[in-house]
Chain A
């Protein structure tokens, strides 16, 4: 089973700042199966990025994804108040999906 490790665990930033979230895989991952989700309290996760770098429908362009192999990054260029949430990366390999443990982006 491929393990995804997200860092940092918590990111304390102010609105308007840039957020950089990391997702590292224990072995190489196909970019076709690397996705990012946002979750706010009490809500189901929302798909942000698929294919490592493509924005899902309706996702603002301040969200971007990059990376390949074992290292992937989610960047939020300028944080809006609604962006303070928990973010998860996800991958599929060997007929199994796994999620990272999450990064919380909190208001500083």
Chain B
């Protein structure tokens, strides 16, 4: 049973760097993409970016200049860094696995496993 455990600093000041890590327990790390998603208080879900075990990344365009997602295959974990944070970055941050389902000759993709979420507050 794959589980994702995430951790990181929960309180930041404006202009600091947000840093979160997500560890993968009980399953394969390679062969999948791994994503970060955030949710501001009372609002919807926003995808931040993704990485695979080889370190290939894709980022949401509006965040690309501030985001770095990296992977440590030896520790079976991946990390998120978001620099120059402001109050607008206050949110619950989730990590998730992008799973693929083989279906009649095609592959369907979705986020099947999520971390527990980390509340990050940016305040002076």
Chain A interfacial positions (CB closer than 8 Å to B):
1, 31-33, 35, 37, 39, 44-47, 50-51, 54, 56, 88, 90, 92, 95-102
Contacts and interface: CB of A to CB of B under 8 A. Distances in A.
Contacts of B115: 44
Contact of B106 (A32, A35, A37, A98): A32
A51 B103 contact: yes
Interface stretch (B8-16, B39-47, B79-87): B39-47
A4 to B, nearest CB: 10
A34 B2 CA distance: 23
Nearest to B101: A50
Contacts, number: 67
Given A45-B45, A99-B44, A99-B46, A54 B108 contact: yes
Contacts of B109: 32-33, 35, 50, 92
Contacts of B106: 32, 51
Residue among B35, B44, B46, B58 facing the most chain A CB atoms (10 A cut-off): B44
A100 B44 CA distance: 8
Given A1-B61, A51-B101, A54-B108, A97 B114 contact: no
Given A50-B109, A56-B110, A101 B44 contact: yes
B34 interface: no
B111 A102 contact: no
B61 A88 contact: no
Which secondary structure dominates where chain B touches chain A?
strand
Given A32-B107, A97-B50, A44 B117 contact: yes
Given A97-B47, A98-B47, A50 B108 contact: yes
B45 A99 contact: yes
Interface string B60-101: 110000000000000000000000000000000010000001
B110 A35 contact: yes
A51 B58 CA distance: 21
B116 interface: yes
Nearest to B108: A51
A96 B44 contact: no
